[in-house]
Amino acid sequence: MSRTLVLVRHGQSEWNLKNLFTGWRDVDLTEQGVAEAKAAGEKLKARGLKFDIAFTSALKRAQRTCQLILDGVGQGDLNTVRDQALNERDYGDLSGLNKDDARKKWGEEQVHIWRRSYDVQPPGGESLKDTGARVWPYYLHDLQPHVLAGGTVLVAAHGNSLRALIMALDGLTGEEVVGMELGTGVPIVYRLNADSTVASKEVLA
């Protein structure tokens, strides 16, 4: 019984590089992002991990990361489910703006609150709590059953959708989770107990 869940934040995107708020905007990986995704695949292959199913978001930076990882472990044709429940947090009116320009417009403190608070929404967008409200039910109904049935499941998604998921898995508070940094292309390997609690967690940095 494997009961293994692997979470990977997508590799560096074009807008990560340009310091832009991305959210639901559909941008691709940079060359570095492609290299990060391939490296994640190599790390997982070195661990002998084989997946039963993969999940990713409706955005191509996560989908491409997912595919590069699966290619790397020799499972390029694996059944992959795409769902916007795993999309990045929607930054609303901030989407497409340079983070430095946003600080000039609204002030350093306000932009920090929008980026790093748990339940404050940016204008027209989602808070991390809102993101969790779509991620958690999706995990319980669509992802977790595969893991608890003994499977090995890959999730390639985004910084904030994965933060919300890790918050639930690790039992973190809203204050604890907002300070957590997730590296691009870094696999996090969870093994679950039969009762869905976490048996072990390993970050393959």
Instruction: Classify strands 152-157 and 53-56 as parallel, antiparallel or unpaired.
Output: parallel
Residue 126 is a catalytic residue: no
* Helices and strands: H and E segment counts in the chain: 9, 6
Placement of tokens 């048996």 in the chain: 199
Residue 112 is a catalytic residue: no
Contact in structure between 168 and 128 (CB atoms under 8 Å):
no
Q: 10, 36, 126, 146: which is the annotated catalytic residue? A: 10
Q: 31, 36, 88, 158: which is the annotated catalytic residue? A: 88
SS3 59: coil
SS3 157: strand
Give 141: exposed, middle or buried? Use CB within 10 Å, 0-12, 13-18, 19+. Answer: exposed
Give 129: exposed, middle or buried? Use CB within 10 Å, 0-12, 13-18, 19+. Answer: middle
Give 38: exposed, middle or buried? Use CB within 10 Å, 0-12, 13-18, 19+. Answer: middle
Two tokens at 129? 């709590």
Between CA 93 and CA 46 the distance in angstroms is: 42
Active site residues: 10, 88
